[in-house]
């Protein structure tokens, strides 16, 4: 297995590949770099920053229009708990990361890779098997002690996303109560058919507080594992089928 790591989008991006490859990983990294250049709210030159500064809609790229349409769709599907508008600015990063990971994985698939793992900031897309010929093993960390792993799941062809405030602080908020800190949930991990679905719904479910795990349980194809701020875990009905 070959492990490639780059710092892109303000986070570590890791690509693990099994078997021979040429420059496939570099093409995926190039894609992440392009996405960062377009969607980073920290770069004044990015398209999203220029939109927030008043760029007319007629000058928006087709890709940006598509992403913002996906954000609006997610807002409807989550009853407003996923909302990229905050303080008069747009920040689609809650959707873009998972969307970009999935697209990067599709690039690797298109280049002929069959067994690989793509991770950006703890959100993961798997495909095929690891170097031992087994499903990819992913650890869920203890939000109160990141050195500990509380569960290990085995997945192939699925996405795994974790939302929480224990690493980046209060970067997620409840759009329905934007001035109220999220205090009930320490972390929420979602397994989905791909990382795009897992990531966007994990973000929204975390914003819902303790009811978020029930929301995940209600969506076909998603499973979740929530740890509240008291250290109590709650999981969806089918989550245990992935646990080793």
**Average pLDDT of every residue of the chain:** 93
pLDDT digit string, tens, across residues 215-242: 999 999 999 999 999 999 999 999 999 9
**pLDDT above 50: residue 184:** yes
Q: Considering Cα of 187, then 123, then 160, then 173, what sign does the dihedral take? A: positive
Contact 162, 122 (CB under 8 A): yes
CATH number, residue 13:
3.10.520.10
Give the structural domain span for 69.
Answer: 2-242
Could you tell me which residue, 165 or 238, shows the higher pLDDT? 238
Confidence of residue 45 (pLDDT cuts 50, 70, 90): very high
**pLDDT above 70: residue 178:** no
pLDDT of 19 reads 82
Confidence of residue 175 (pLDDT cuts 50, 70, 90): low
CA–CA distance, 113 with 17 (Å, rounded to integer): 8
For residue 226, the surrounding DSSP H or E stretch is strand 223-228
> What is the number of structural domains in the chain?
1
pLDDT of 238 reads 98
- Please enumerate, as own/partner, the contacts of 165-174 that have beta carbons within 8 Å and a separation of 24 or more: 167/122, 172/94, 172/203, 172/206, 172/207, 173/86, 173/207, 174/81, 174/207, 174/208, 174/209
Q: Where are the alpha helices (DSSP H) in 47-166?
A: 47-52, 62-77, 93-110
**pLDDT above 60: residue 168:** no
pLDDT digit string, tens, across residues 100-155: 999 999 999 999 999 999 999 999 999 999 999 999 999 999 999 989 999 999 99
pTM beyond 0.85: yes
pLDDT of 172 reads 61
**pLDDT above 80: residue 167:** no
**pLDDT above 70: residue 78:** yes
CA–CA distance, 57 with 103 (Å, rounded to integer): 25
Kindly tell me the number of DSSP H helices and DSSP E strands found in the chain.
6, 12
């Amino acid at each position: 297995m070959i492990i490639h790591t780059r710092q892109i989008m303000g986070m570590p991006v890791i690509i693990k590949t099994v078997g021979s490859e040429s420059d496939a990983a570099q093409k995926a990294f190039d894609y992440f770099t392009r996405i960062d250049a377009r969607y980073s709210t920290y770069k004044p030159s990015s398209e999203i920053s220029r939109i927030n500064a008043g760029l007319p809609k007629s000058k928006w790229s087709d890709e940006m229009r598509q992403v913002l349409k996906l954000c609006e769709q997610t807002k409807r599907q989550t009853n407003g708990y996923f909302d990229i508008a905050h303080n008069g600015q747009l920040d689609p990063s809650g959707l873009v990361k998972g969307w970009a990971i999935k697209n990067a994985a599709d690039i690797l698939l298109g280049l002929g890779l069959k067994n690989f793992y793509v991770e950006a900031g703890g959100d993961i897309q798997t495909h095929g098997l690891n170097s031992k010929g087994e499903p990819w093993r992913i650890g869920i960390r203890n939000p109160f002690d990141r050195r500990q792993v509380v569960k290990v799941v085995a997945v192939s062809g699925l996405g795994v996303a974790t939302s929480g405030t224990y690493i980046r602080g209060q970067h997620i908020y409840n759009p329905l109560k934007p001035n109220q800190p999220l205090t009930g949930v320490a972390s929420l991990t979602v397994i989905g058919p791909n990382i795009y679905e897992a990531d966007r719904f994990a973000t929204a479910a975390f914003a819902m507080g303790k009811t978020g795990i029930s929301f995940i349980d209600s969506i076909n194809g998603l499973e979740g594992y929530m740890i509240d701020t008291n250290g109590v875990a709650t999981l969806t009905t089918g989550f245990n089928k992935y646990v080793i």
